[in-house]
Structures are given as structure tokens and as C-alpha cells.
Chain A
Amino acid sequence: MVIFRWIRNQAHPLLFVLLLVSAVTQIFRYHFYQHSIYFGQALGAHRQIDQWKSDVKSYFNLRQVNQQLIGENTLLKQQLNWNLTYNSPKRDSAYQDDKTGNFVKYEYIQARVIRNSVQDQNNFIILDRGFKDGIKRHMSVVSPMGIVGVVVESAEHYSLVMSVLNSKFEITPYIFDLKTSQGVISWNGEDPTMVDLEEVNRFVKVKTGMKLFTSNYSLLFPAGIPIGTIVKSSSNLKSNFHRITVKLATDFGQLDVVTVIKNIHQKELDVLNQAIPADKEEDNDRDR
């Protein structure tokens, strides 16, 4: 009888302890068997909710995704022309597209960005495709908006991309309005929307608003992919070169779906590239 009375008096704290213990039990189960529960079937319902969550999230993104798709379509159309090599049966090293019968130079692999940074001095991106999907080093990565970077390492299911926002990334652009490929684009590590274009001859008439694309001299990127727009250029008599600031076409804060471009002749190009004697001399110079 005393016990019953005690229970009745302490019912509120007791109920609290009971509920708390049941909550804590859940926490412990979750923490101890985090992996087995998560990847097992016990949380199938939870994964279903995750799926709904992801659906809702993608619904919010629809407008943006639509725009990206439109951009991507345009990019694909552009790619059609320069993608073709000769329709000659002798070029058996080229890849023949099953549907069109065309011999093409590039293969495209869609990937999703799962990790991305813009704050560091050397930024890298991780994609959810790896060498099992055919991704290898030195493949170029583009987004519907413009260039993104170059694959530097690939694991089984994931790959590491050196972003344009990396102090080691350099590329020579094609200045569309001047019909010339000049200078080197590199990032100074400050504003993630801007890059510097250096080594453009002072006598080249650079103006703001000029659009930059990848040039056909690039061994990694196909020609004609947007890099950005010139927003500032200045020159002085002391230097032979312009100082140019370029606004990147790609918004690195919003990367989602990207395309990894595989050059089917990359091996041949690599071999030829290594055979360039000038490079060797330079290397020797450096060694001395």
C-alpha cells in the first residue's frame, strides 16, 4: 500500500524517467548499431522519409534545375559540331556512336557534385562517379554554365576534381571577339567568382564584356566551352601585358550536375605531348 501511495505521489517524475529512458534507449541503439541499423532494414521507413525529403528538396530546386537543363541542352547542341571527327571507316580508333553512326572525339559522363568548396586557397570538388564509371585522371569537367575543372584522382566510385578555383589551375582562353587565344587564366585565391587573365599582350585591344571560351589548343577541354566575361582590364606603360579580371561563367556555389568529358584520343595526345622536345629542354634547364 505504501508503494502504491508513493507511486501515486511521484507519478509525474516517474513518467518523466520512463519516457526519458525510452528515448535514451533509442539513442543508444542508434549509436551502437548506427551502421547496421542504418544500412539494414530496421530503418527502411526512415530511408523512405529521407527519400520524401530529397523529393521535397528537389521540388524546391526545380526552377534552378530547369535552367541548368536548358543550359546543358544548349551546350550539347554546341558540342555536336566540334564533337565529330571524319566519318571515315579508317579511323577505327575513334569511337563510333551506335545511334548516329558518327565517329566522335568525346564521350560524356554525367556526375553529381557531392562535395565542393570555394573558401580555400586550393579548392577541390568530389564527384559521385569513379573509375568504375570510366573516369580517369586529366579528364575535363564542365557544368551547364561553363568550365569547372580537371579530374586529378579517381577512386572506384568517386573522383577528385581540381576546381578552377585552385591556385594550380591554369588555362589559355580563346577571346571570341578578337578571334585569338592568348594569356593564362588563373585564380588569385580571393573572390570565388573572379579569375585573373594574365600575359595578354598590351597591344591586343581588350575590352570589358568580351567573352572567353576554351580554345582549341587545350588538350584537356574541348573548344568553345564558356569560361567567363572580361569585367575589368587595365594596362600601363611599364608592363607589356594587360591586367585583366574575368567573371567566371560557372557559379561555383551552385554546382550540382556536371559533365565529365573523356577525350577518346587522350592516350595518343599524352604520348605526343611527352615527345615535345622543347619541353624536355626546359626540363633540363630547370634541372641544371
Chain B
Amino acid sequence: MIEIARYIVSGLLLALVQTFILQEVNIAWWIKPMPYILLFLNIPVSVNKFGMLIGAFFFGMTIDALGGSMGMHTAACVSLVYFKYHIDAYFLDENSMQLQGLSTMHEDYKGWQWYYIYVFSLTFLHHLVFFTFDYFRWSAILTIIWISLTSSVASVFFVQIFRLLKGKR
């Protein structure tokens, strides 16, 4: 129960940071970091997949309501969580993680290269969905891919900063 409350609070904090700070600070038109995906990285992989989908939906709605983007973050979050389920199955082995005492992807598990590949691919997927709906025309496909890539790098950077602030376990 306390765990759930903690995720809700950290989700709200991340949503506030996203909408009140990161969305307001204009770094460059092609860098729009969305480090709130840290929330999904923090939630243990063993959590109920339906619950995750619904949770992601409401979390995305919260950010959309705060930021006024109506549906875009929701679509991106729901897609992220759905595909994360399959990506987790590819990257992670629950049994060996349990042996290491880990509940989420961590640098200690398989090394930092795999960690960054995992985090970056999830981030890129989320950003790709978001910017596809943001631009929503075929002619902008290269822009969408470019902005997704650059923003993903920025997001991963911020995710690492947040993790450092929180203190590595």
C-alpha cells in the first residue's frame, strides 16, 4: 500500500516537473525532454499488466490536463507501457533478477550497456509516438524521427539526473 502511494506521489511530482518546468523552458525546438517515463522504469516488472495500462492512461491524462496537450501524452504512455511489457520479456529474465534482488532494470543487471539500450529504446518509443501525434503528417517523418532521437537523449540524461538525486540503491 505504501509502495503504491509512493508511486502515485512520485508520479505527481514528475508530472508537475514536466508541465511546470520542462515544458516551459525552451531548450531548443528539437529538444523536448520528457523524463517522467522514469516512473515506468521504476515500477517493478512483476506488476499486473492491466493495472499498468490503466495507470499509464490516467497518468498520461494528468500530464495532458496540466499541459493542455489533450491525449498526446496519454497515447504515448499507453503505448510505452504496452510495448514495455514485450520489451521486458525480451530484455529481462525475472528469475535471474529475483536472484540478484532486483525488481526493475538496473545497471548491475547485465551491465550498463544493456541498461542504456533498454532505457533508450523505451524512451525513443514513447517519444516517437508522442511526436507522431504532435506533427501528424507524413511530410514531417524525418523531423519526427530526428526530434524523437534528440529528445530521447535529453530525456535519458534527465532520467539519470533524477535517479542520482534520488540516490542509487
A interface residues (Cβ-Cβ under 8 A, vs B): 11-13, 15-16, 19-20, 22-31, 43, 45-46, 49-50, 53, 56-57
Q: Mark B48-85, 1 if CB is under 8 A from A, else 0.
A: 01100110110010001110111110110011001001
Contact residue among B49, B68, B69, B70 (Cβ-Cβ distance under 8 Å from A12): B49
A53 touches B19 (CB 8 A): yes
Contact, CB under 8 Å: B72 / A46: no
CA distance A145 to B75 in the complex (A): 46
Measured between beta carbons, the chain A residues less than 8 angstroms from B79 are: 16, 20
27 contacts between A and B (CB under 8 A): A12-B50, A15-B53, A15-B54, A16-B53, A20-B79, A20-B82, A23-B57, A23-B71, A23-B72, A23-B78, A24-B133, A26-B70, A26-B74, A27-B70, A27-B71, A27-B72, A27-B133, A28-B71, A29-B70, A30-B69, A30-B70, A31-B136, A43-B68, A45-B65, A46-B68, A50-B68, A53-B66
Q: Which chain A residue shows the least CB distance to B24?
A: A57
Residues A24 and B65 in contact, CB atoms below 8 Å apart? no
Are the CB atoms of A16 and B78 closer together than 8 Å?
yes
Query: How far is A49 from B68 in the complex, measured between Cα atoms in Å?
Result: 9
- Say yes or no: is B20 at the interface (Cβ < 8 Å to chain A): yes
Min CB distance A59 to B, Å, is 11
With the chains together, A30 CA to B19 CA distance in Å? 18
Residue of B nearest to A28 (CB): B71
The size class of the interface chain B forms with chain A is 20 to 34
Top 4 closest A-B pairs, CB basis? A26-B71, A30-B70, A27-B71, A23-B74
B residues 12-28 in Cβ contact with A at 8 Å: 19-20, 24
B residues 102-119 in Cβ contact with A at 8 Å: none
Chain A's closest residue to B77 (CB) is: A23
> Given A20-B82, A23-B60, 18 more contacts at CB 8 Å?
A12-B50, A12-B82, A16-B78, A19-B53, A20-B78, A23-B71, A23-B78, A24-B71, A24-B75, A27-B70, A29-B70, A31-B136, A46-B65, A46-B68, A49-B65, A50-B68, A53-B19, A57-B24
B residues with a Cβ closer than 8 A to A are 19-20, 24, 49-50, 53-54, 56-57, 60, 64-66, 68-72, 74-75, 78-79, 82, 85, 133, 136
How far is A7 from B70 in the complex, measured between Cα atoms in Å? 29
In the bound assembly, the distance between CA atoms of A65 and B136 in angstroms comes to 40
User: Counting chain A CB atoms within 10 Å of each CB, which of B72, B78, B136 scores highest?
Assistant: B78
Q: Are A19 and B71 in contact (CB under 8 A)?
A: no
Residue among A12, A25, A27, A56 facing the most chain B CB atoms (10 A cut-off): A27
Tell me the smallest distance from the CB of A253 to a CB of chain B, in Å.
Answer: 13
A31–B135 Cα gap in the complex (Å)? 11
Measured between C-beta atoms, what is the minimum distance from A84 to chain B in Å?
43
CA distance A16 to B83 in the complex (A): 10
**Which residues does chain B contribute within 8 Å of A22, judged by CB atoms?**
57, 74
Q: B69 contacts which chain A residues (CB < 8 A)?
A: 30
Chain A residue with Cβ nearest B133: A27
